[in-house]
């Protein structure tokens, strides 16, 4: 039922406000994107630099984890605290992640093939 | 636009159902389709029981028996229990939360058609070279080597209908979270809505592993991959993990809504508020969560090792705790109530001990060392039928009686209902109680026959007699439905007189928009509260009468589903499959196979693009029309005559 097309007239002040806010959001997205590229470079560098595998493996996984969080919060807008039902959405995302994590943990620890 | 007033031609009616997005009509389609597959699977069970009635019987061959066994299990779980529960979820949940439809009516219809065409696809196997024959679990070590196309039908049929189930599950999650009427907070939601929410969440998390497993099986069998083939470096056990990571939550997906239905039925007929509401909610969520942590109890004997077995045994036993909480809450709801033993209540009273028996055998099986003895014996068969028939089927039958007045504005016959209950209930216990002992005496499950004089003959005979009684019970229920068509319309609200939640506040027959005005919910059991305060309308409103926004019907869901159906045939007859190459299954030319896949998926994707490009904003029912419809309905309820045709 959420199909109503919505037209809204904005006042000058509103217009300026939105413009400022959009600019700020854009800036933060570009920053996040830069950080992601940096992290990727670090990951490649640590692999190329021939560090011990016992260091490289968990380190790269950690960097990947950070990027997942960035992806969710910066690019998929989970950081937006005012979004509709954001609490439920976070609960479902992290609940699902937790359950999936236990599967991996289980396969890596107690199930031995 | 009036829904009661118009008499439509037959063709128009069929078109209406093919394109409908109304949750009430989709509920009826789920009910009809689910009943059809329930009947088919029931017949398969009867054939199996007739074969096992006497030792060394030759009623069906071993191969046919395997097909019956596989199709019975698969159909009952995926194509009967699931859609029948969806029928009640569709019919009742929007009414319970004060909504005019589900959140995504289009997806609701798509979910149904995918389920239905997947089910039809699976059943075509009977006419096209033989049904799947590796059990409903279809373990890869067996199913990869099954000649013919049976397993391919299983894989593709379940893939399609599974997509439908996943879509419906997501739809219910969003509906329950976002479409609640003002005042319907989470902790005021009726238990059936709560269990539907948790069950839909389990669908969301459990169906993807199944989809992955089926996909790997699909490319293994039809396109020459080797994920599960240990001779080629694959691992056959992975299928079992993927299947049970899905499979154990699946049994809770089915039983939780059943719990919810009983949690609605029991307070109404005990005429008492549900005991321990918040602990019921908590137990539901806990069961849902723990349901994901126990899958390996189905694999104790695959050799996981002592550590894994011990951990999974303990995890499994913990599920008994929230389940026990629920049982005690039901008993304490009944305790001290002024009990009215109607047909739904009879099913509830029968459910409690039967389900507890199934839970107890479950805990026994959860003890891994004991499970080495019980596994793959008739004891397991007894366990899961006690929970599934004693828990889910009784809920479905009880809920049919309970909600028939809302769904069809007719009542099912009480006397016949009582008779049906006793025949079915006694038949159920005759069939399955003795199977515990058959299992302990060593009778393995999934065998097509057995030698005489091992002490199994009499119990098998009794079991078959019980199964026949269950069959009679089902026929009587269907008869009851047919009789109800000819009975007087009820035209009233609160058929049982003791309704508590919002759905009972509505007067049947319902207008297609359910609520003229969105209700305002003032507490748990809102209709009960209003009744207590002498409110004749059954609810207070959160808004004045205004235009109502409703979704348009669409044929696209059916077209999308037909696309996947066509593509499935392309995959099925692929010339690259192991069986096709070995010459044990027929195949078509590469061009035709790929052509069918491209054509089918093209149709599906084309319909999706059409849906995306063309904005469908729905339509508004204006105040004048609403008033005309309400007047029509009032006149119909008062005089039994359909009003003027507007
Ligand atoms: C206290 C609750 C329960 C416990 C502890 C439990 C435990 C178990 C265990 C350990 C097995 C595996 C036995 C074996 O194959 O050796 C099993 C099988 C099974 N259970 Fe349960 N269970 C419980 C409740 C349920 C419920 C509520 C359902 C369904 C609604 C269910 C359906 C099944 C099915 C279908 C199987 C057999 C699967 C197959 O091999 O085909 N169980 N249960
Ligand atoms: Cu299980």
A70 and A89 co-located in one domain: no
A75 and A106 co-located in one domain: no
A34 and A89 co-located in one domain: no
Task: Match 């089910």 to its residue by tokens.
Answer: B119
Atom of ligand 1 nearest to the CA of B366: 10
Residues with CB under 6 A from ligand 1: B 137, 251, 254-255, 297-298, 316, 319-320, 323, 359, 362-363, 365-366, 371, 374-375, 380, 383-384, 387-388, 391-392
Expressed in angstroms and rounded, the spacing between residue B179 Cα and the centre of ligand 2 is 33
pLDDT tens per residue across span B549-600 = 999 999 999 999 999 999 999 999 999 998 999 888 889 999 999 999 999 9
A16 and A4 co-located in one domain: yes
CATH architecture of B10-554+615-639: Up-down Bundle (1.20)
Pick from B81, B252, B298 the residue to mutate for probing ligand 1's pocket: most ligand atoms within 8 Å of its CB.
Answer: B298
Dihedral, A78, A83, A88, A93 alpha carbons, nearest 10 = -20
The pLDDT, as a whole number, for residue B645 is 45
pLDDT tens per residue across span A25-36 = 889 889 999 999
Give the ipTM of the model, two decimals please.
0.82
A74 and A35 co-located in one domain: yes
pLDDT tens per residue across span A60-101 = 999 999 999 998 888 888 888 888 888 899 999 999 999 999
Mean pLDDT, all residues of chain B? 94
A30 and A72 co-located in one domain: yes
Residue A7 at interface with chain B, using a CB cutoff of 8 Å: no
Average pLDDT, integer, range B102-120 = 96
The pLDDT, as a whole number, for residue B148 is 92
pLDDT tens per residue across span B56-67 = 999 999 999 999
The pLDDT, as a whole number, for residue A35 is 94
Instruction: Closest CB to A111: pick one of B205, B304, B617.
Output: B304
Residue B41 at interface with chain A, using a CB cutoff of 8 Å: no
Measured CA to CA, the distance from residue B436 to residue B300 in angstroms comes to 19
Residue B2 has pLDDT above 50, yes or no: no
Q: What band does B3 get if pLDDT is binned at 50, 70 and 90?
A: very low
SS3 B378: helix
As for how many domains chain A has, the answer is 2
pLDDT tens per residue across span B429-479 = 999 999 999 999 999 999 999 999 999 999 999 999 999 999 999 999 999
Q: Verify whether the Cβ–Cβ distance A113 to B245 is below 8 Å.
A: no
Q: Which sequence spans correspond to the domains of chain B?
A: 10-554+615-639
A75 and A89 co-located in one domain: no
A21 and A37 co-located in one domain: yes
Q: Which residue of A has its CA nearest to B104?
A: A1
Instruction: Provide DSSP, B69-137.
Output: HHHHHHIIIIIIIHHHHHHHHHHHHHHHHT-SS-S-HHHHHHHHHHHHHHHHHHHHGGGTT----STTT
Stretch (H or E) spanning B540: strand B540-541
Q: Verify whether the Cβ–Cβ distance B293 to A102 is below 8 Å.
A: yes
The pLDDT, as a whole number, for residue A112 is 64
Instruction: Closest CB to A5: pick one of B241, B308, B617.
Output: B617
A63 and A106 co-located in one domain: no
Nearest in space to B376 (alpha carbons), one of B151, B61, B139, B81: B139
* Ligand sitting nearest the alpha carbon of B363: 1
Q: What band does A8 get if pLDDT is binned at 50, 70 and 90?
A: low
Can you read off the two tokens belonging to residue A41?
């470079």
Q: Which residues surround ligand 2, an ion (CB under 5 A)?
A: B 248
Measured CA to CA, the distance from residue B326 to residue B284 in angstroms comes to 8
pTM, rounded to two decimals:
0.92
Q: Which residues of A are less than 8 Å from B201 in CB distance? A: 92
Q: Which residues of B are less than 8 Å from A103 in CB distance? A: 245
Distance from CA of A4 to the nearest CA of B (A): 6
Q: What band does B229 get if pLDDT is binned at 50, 70 and 90?
A: very high
A44 and A72 co-located in one domain: yes
Per-residue CA distances from B339 to B18, B190, B347, B348 (Å) = 43, 20, 14, 12
Residue B618 at interface with chain A, using a CB cutoff of 8 Å: yes
Distance from CA of A7 to the nearest CA of B (A): 14
From the number of C-beta atoms within 10 Å of its C-beta (0-12, 13-18, 19+), residue B491 rates as: middle
- Point out the least confidently predicted range of A54-58, B42-46, B360-364, B614-618: B614-618
Residue B387 has pLDDT above 50, yes or no: yes
Q: Which domain holds residue A61?
A: 1-80
For the ranges B79-88, B305-314, B626-635, the one whose mean pLDDT is highest: B79-88
Q: What band does B1 get if pLDDT is binned at 50, 70 and 90?
A: very low
Pick from B202, B297, B311, B386 the residue to mutate for probing ligand 1's pocket: most ligand atoms within 8 Å of its CB.
Answer: B297
The pLDDT, as a whole number, for residue B389 is 97
**For chain B, percent of residues with pLDDT exceeding 70:** 98
Instruction: Closest CB to B311: pick one of A84, A103, A110.
Output: A110
Measured CA to CA, the distance from residue B280 to residue B331 in angstroms comes to 12
Dihedral, A22, A28, A29, A31 alpha carbons, nearest 10 = 150
Residue B32 has pLDDT above 50, yes or no: yes
Instruction: Closest CB to B245: pick one of A5, A95, A103.
Output: A103
The pLDDT, as a whole number, for residue A7 is 64
List residues bridging with B425 in a β-sheet: none
The pLDDT, as a whole number, for residue A83 is 82
The pLDDT, as a whole number, for residue A4 is 52
Can you read off the two tokens belonging to residue B132?
């799947």
Measured CA to CA, the distance from residue B83 to residue B390 in angstroms comes to 18
Expressed in angstroms and rounded, the spacing between residue B258 Cα and the centre of ligand 1 is 16
Residue B185 has pLDDT above 90, yes or no: yes
Q: What band does A10 get if pLDDT is binned at 50, 70 and 90?
A: confident
Measured from the Cβ of residue A77, the count of other Cβ atoms closer than 10 Å reads 12
Average pLDDT, integer, range B249-274 = 96
Expressed in angstroms and rounded, the spacing between residue B335 Cα and the centre of ligand 2 is 31
In the stretch 298-327 of chain B, residues with CB closer than 8 A to chain A read 304-305, 307-308, 311
A27 and A74 co-located in one domain: yes
DSSP annotation of B443: P
Q: Verify whether the Cβ–Cβ distance B296 to A3 is below 8 Å.
A: no
A18 and A33 co-located in one domain: yes
SS3 B525: coil
């Amino acid at each position: 039922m959420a199909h109503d097309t919505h037209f809204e007239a904005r006042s000058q002040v509103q217009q300026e406000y939105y413009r400022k806010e959009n600019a700020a959001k854009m800036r933060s997205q570009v920053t996040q994107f830069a950080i992601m590229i940096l992290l990727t470079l670090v990951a490649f560098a640590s692999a190329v630099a021939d560090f011990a595998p016992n260091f490289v493996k968990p380190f790269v996984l950690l960097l990947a984890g950070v990027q997942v969080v960035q992806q969710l919060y910066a690019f998929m807008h989970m950081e937006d605290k005012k979004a509709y039902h954001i609490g439920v959405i976070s609960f479902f995302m992290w609940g699902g992640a937790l359950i999936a994590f236990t599967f991996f943990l289980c396969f890596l620890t107690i199930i031995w093939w | 636009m009036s829904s009661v007033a118009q008499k439509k031609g037959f063709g128009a009616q069929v078109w209406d159902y093919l394109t409908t997005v109304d949750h009430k009509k989709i509920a009826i389609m789920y009910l009809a389709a689910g009943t059809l597959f329930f009947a088919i699977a029931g017949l398969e069970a009867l054939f199996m029981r007739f074969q096992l009635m006497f030792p060394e019987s030759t009623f069906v061959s071993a191969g046919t028996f395997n097909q019956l066994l596989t199709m019975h299990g698969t159909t009952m779980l995926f194509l009967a229990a699931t859609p029948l529960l969806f029928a009640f979820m569709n019919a009742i949940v929007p009414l319970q939360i004060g909504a005019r439809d589900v959140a995504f009516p289009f997806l609701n219809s798509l979910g149904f058609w995918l389920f239905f065409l997947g089910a039809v696809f699976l059943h075509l196997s009977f006419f096209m070279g033989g049904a799947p024959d590796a059990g409903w679990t279809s373990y890869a070590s067996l199913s990869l080597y099954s000649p013919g196309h049976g397993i391919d039908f299983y894989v593709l049929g379940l893939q399609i209908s599974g997509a439908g189930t996943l879509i419906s599950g997501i739809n219910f999650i969003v509906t329950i979270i976002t479409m609640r009427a003002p005042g319907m907070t989470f902790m005021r939601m009726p238990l059936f809505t709560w269990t539907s929410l948790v069950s839909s969440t389990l669908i969301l998390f459990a169906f993807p592993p199944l989809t992955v497993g089926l996909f790997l099986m699909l490319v293994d069998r039809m396109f020459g991959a080797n994920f599960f083939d240990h001779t080629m470096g694959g691992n056959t056990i992975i299928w079992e993990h993927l299947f049970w990571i899905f499979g154990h939550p699946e049994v809770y997906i089915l039983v939780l809504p059943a719990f919810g239905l009983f949690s609605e039925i029991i307070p109404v007929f005990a005429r008492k508020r549900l005991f321990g509401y918040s602990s019921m909610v908590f137990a539901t969520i806990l069961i849902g969560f723990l349901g994901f942590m126990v899958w390996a109890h189905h694999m104790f004997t695959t050799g996981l090792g002592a550590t894994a077995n011990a951990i999974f045994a303990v995890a499994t036993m913990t599920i008994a705790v929230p389940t026990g909480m629920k049982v005690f809450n039901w008993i304490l709801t009944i305790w001290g109530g002024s009990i009215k033993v109607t047909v739904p209540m009879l099913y509830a009273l029968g459910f409690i001990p039967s389900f507890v028996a199934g839970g107890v055998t479950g805990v026994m099986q959860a003890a891994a060392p004991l499970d080495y003895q019980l596994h793959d014996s008739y004891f397991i068969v007894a366990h899961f039928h006690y929970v599934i028939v004693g828990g889910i089927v009784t809920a479905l039958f009880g809920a049919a009686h309970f909600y028939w007045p809302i769904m069809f504005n007719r009542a099912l016959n009480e006397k016949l209902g009582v008779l049906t209950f006793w025949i079915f209930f006694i038949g159920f216990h005759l069939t399955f109680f003795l199977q515990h002992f058959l299992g302990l005496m060593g009778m393995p499950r999934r065998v097509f026959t057995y030698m005489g004089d091992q002490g199994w003959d009499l119990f098998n005979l009794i079991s078959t007699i019980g199964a026949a009684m269950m069959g009679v019970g089902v026929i009587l229920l269907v008869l009851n439905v047919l009789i109800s068509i000819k009975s007087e319309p009820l035209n009233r609200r609160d058929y049982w007189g003791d309704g508590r939640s919002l759905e009972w506040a509505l007067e049947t027959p319902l207008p297609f928009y359910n609520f003229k005005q969105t209700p305002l919910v003032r507490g748990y059991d809102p209709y009960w509260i209003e009744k207590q305060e002498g409110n004749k309308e059954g609810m207070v409103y959160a808004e004045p009468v205004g235009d109502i926004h409703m979704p348009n019907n669409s044929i696209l869901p059916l077209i999308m589903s037909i696309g996947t159906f066509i593509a499935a045939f392309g995959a099925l007859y692929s010339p690259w499959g192991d069986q096709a190459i070995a010459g044990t299954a027929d195949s078509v030319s590469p061009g035709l196979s790929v052509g069918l896949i491209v054509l089918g998926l093209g149709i599906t994707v084309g319909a999706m693009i059409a849906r995306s490009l063309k904005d469908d904003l729905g339509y508004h029912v204006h105040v004048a029309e609403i008033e005309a419809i309400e007047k029509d309905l009032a006149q119909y309820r008062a005089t039994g005559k359909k009003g003027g045709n507007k």
